[in-house]
Amino acid sequence: MYRWWVYQRERFPIFAHGMLIAAFSVSAMGFSSLLRKQTHLPPIATLAAGFASSLLFFLQLRITDEFKDQEDDARYRPYRPVPRGLVTLRELAIVGLGAAAIQLTLALLVYPRLVIVLVGVWAYLGLMTREFFVSRWLKRHPVVYMATHMLIMPFIDFYVTAFDWLVAGGGPPRGLAWFLSVSFFNGTVVEIGRKIRAPQDEEHGVETYSFLWGTRGASLAWLAAIALTAISSLFAATHIDFVRADAIVLAALVLVAVLLAARYMQAPTTARAKAIEQMSGVWTLCMYLSLGALPFVVRLL
């Protein structure tokens, strides 16, 4: 068990990820409920099942990364858990299949028709694992690579929202597409933000965005992703009559993001690169809460 504790600490920190995924899943179901003109969140059991399914999806994403990156990790990152022998790919595969079994069980318990959507997400995850059978081409086109892999976010989001609208007996509510767009661009913010580094922290063989596009290019790409997320969020907020409050939250967050990016471009130090990564998590957390949880709090007050 100690091996797995070390693995989660290094590759899937359960507490940090858990808080973000809880905000993601609860807000997804909450936003769907708001679109259906409901005044309360779905039942606790449904929220818990949606959260557990989301958490297991992100665990499966980490596991598939271990398989996709095994050659590069062995060559350039031998300190990671798999190349150094802490856990094996076979063990990780068993964990991933166990996670799928739990997801299937939860779907059957909550509402059997959820299985149809679940299989669709699994199918896309499987294609991602195989790099859509064009691995070399994708690696030569980093923007396309990132976009195809970030599409898993709205797939997961669509499944989690189905715990609300599908269980309620309807179809996807009008306006849901904007929330899925938020999910896609939020994933992009996190993906770029975690791969922005100071020049002295770049590793041989590791293609970060700051290495590929330079400190300025990576920073501007990160800000562009933030801007697209903000636009999508405002459109989503129009469908739940929450534009004014959402705009206030967005304005404060965008200002902080611009200041952090400017400081990093001025002097790309380790601390300033880390601040961008941390801001990516804060941005994502606040973005989801502002659409799926904060509206309920405001209405209660």
pLDDT of residue 72: 86
pTM given for the model: 0.93
List the structure tokens of 155. Answer: 């797939």
Taking a C-beta distance cutoff of 8 angstroms, is the pair 174, 35 a contact?
Answer: yes
Print pLDDT tens along the chain (301 aa).
899 999 999 999 998 889 889 999 999 999 999 999 998 889 999 999 999 999 999 999 999 999 988 988 898 899 999 999 999 999 999 999 999 999 999 999 999 999 999 999 999 999 998 999 998 899 889 899 999 999 999 999 999 999 999 999 989 999 999 999 999 999 999 999 999 999 999 988 888 999 999 999 999 999 999 999 999 999 999 999 999 999 999 999 999 999 999 999 999 999 999 999 999 999 999 999 999 888 988 877 7
Domain edges within the chain: 1-173, 176-301
pLDDT of residue 215: 95
Q: Which CATH class is domain 176-301?
A: mainly alpha
Q: What is the CA radius of gyration of the chain?
A: 19
Q: Measured between alpha carbons, how far is 221 from 150 in angstroms, rounded to an integer?
A: 15
Distances (CA, A) of 11 to 20, 24, 201, 231: 15, 20, 19, 32
DSSP string spanning 19-64? HHHHHHHHHHHHHHHHHTT-SSPPPHHHHHHHHHHHHHHHHHHHHH
- At residue 75, the 3 state secondary structure works out as helix
1-173 CATH choice from 1.10.357.140, 1.10.357.10, 3.50.50.60, 3.40.630.40: 1.10.357.140
> Which candidate, 220, 217, 197, places its Cα nearest to that of 207?
197
